[in-house]
Structures are given as C-alpha cells and as structure tokens.
Amino acid sequence: MLSERMKQGLNAQLTLEAQSSQAYLAMASWAEIQPGLDGVTAFFYRHSDEERMHMLKLVGYINERGGFAVIPALAQPVLTYPSLKHAFNALLQHEMEVSASINDLVHTALEEKDYATHNFLQWYVAEQIEEEQLARKLNDKLEMIGDDKSGLYLFDRDILNVGQPSGKAKY
C-alpha cells in the first residue's frame, strides 16, 4: 500500500512524464516543418512515445499498489525553437529535471521504507542515466557541427538509428 506522500510523488512524476511526452511531440511537429530534418523528426516522435510509455508504467504501478493514478491536464509546451541546438538543449534540460524528480522519489521511498516502490523506481533511474547521456552526446555533436550543413545532414541521417532495437547507435 502506498503512503499518501508516495502517491502524491508518483502522481507528480506521472505528470512530468506526460509533460515530457507532450514537449517531445511539440519538438517533433516543429522539426517536421523544418527542411531536411526527417531523422530528427522521427527521433522526437519516438521519444514522445517512449515518455508516454513511462507515464503508463506509472499509472499501472500506482493503481496496482492501492493508489489512484490521476491523469493530468497539461500545459501548452514550447512550440517553436530558434534552432536545432535550442531544441536539443531543451531536451537535455528536461531530462535533467526528470532525473532530479526520480531521485527525489527514490529518496522518499527509502525514507518511508517502501522497498517495493524503491525497486520499481530503479528502472527509471537506469533509464534516466541513458536519457541524459544520450541528450548530452547529441548536444555535443551539434556543438561540434556548428553551422556546417553537411555535418547537420549526417547528424539527421545518423539520428535515425539512435534508440533503435536493431543495434542502438552509441553516440
């Protein structure tokens, strides 16, 4: 059985995951109308779907443990970006915010001796390590590319393989 504090924390995380999905969906929509960013567009659509799955995983856990998963109303995400670098920087900042929130939940679970929730959250801890590392590496690549159009072309092509089950590209 989840404590009231843990239910509130998990529901707040559920909201953050839903906001992540919406933010990445908005990034995908923005990228889709930029010329030549088909790979980036696909990456953000996949990322949005993945965040939705993270949200659904929380919904199931909260409800299974005697809580009530509250499906939140969401604020309008940022819709446009001055550049691809800005969009990927927003991705990194958002992932760091999610990581901090997960860490707070892990701390709460340990304080409350809720070892089942602590165990459940370990998947999110590992996932956030991967998400932050990927976001940092993609930002590093964009920094290295600068304004080089051929570099951007290769970045867009190569990002299609990032996170794919058939051989996850390591950046």
- Per-residue pLDDT of 71-95, as tens digits, reads 999 999 999 999 999 999 999 999 9
Sorted by sequence, the CB contacts under 8 Å of residue 149 that are 6+ apart come out as none
For residue 130 the two structure tokens come to: 């991967």
Predicted confidence at residue 164, as pLDDT, reads: 59
Res. 168: pLDDT tops 80 = no
Select the CATH number that applies to the domain covering 4-161 from these four: 3.20.20.100, 3.30.70.600, 1.20.1260.10, 2.40.110.10: 1.20.1260.10
For residue 116 the two structure tokens come to: 């089942």
C-alpha distances (whole Å) from 163 to each of 43, 45, 46, 85, 169 are 8, 12, 9, 20, 7
pLDDT, mean of residues 116-130 = 98
Taking the alpha carbons at both ends of the chain, their separation in whole angstroms is: 41
pTM for this predicted structure: 0.92
Tokens 């939140």 found at: 72
User: Is 102 in contact with 13 (CB distance < 8 Å)?
Assistant: yes
List the domain boundaries for the chain: 4-161
User: Is 14 in contact with 62 (CB distance < 8 Å)?
Assistant: yes
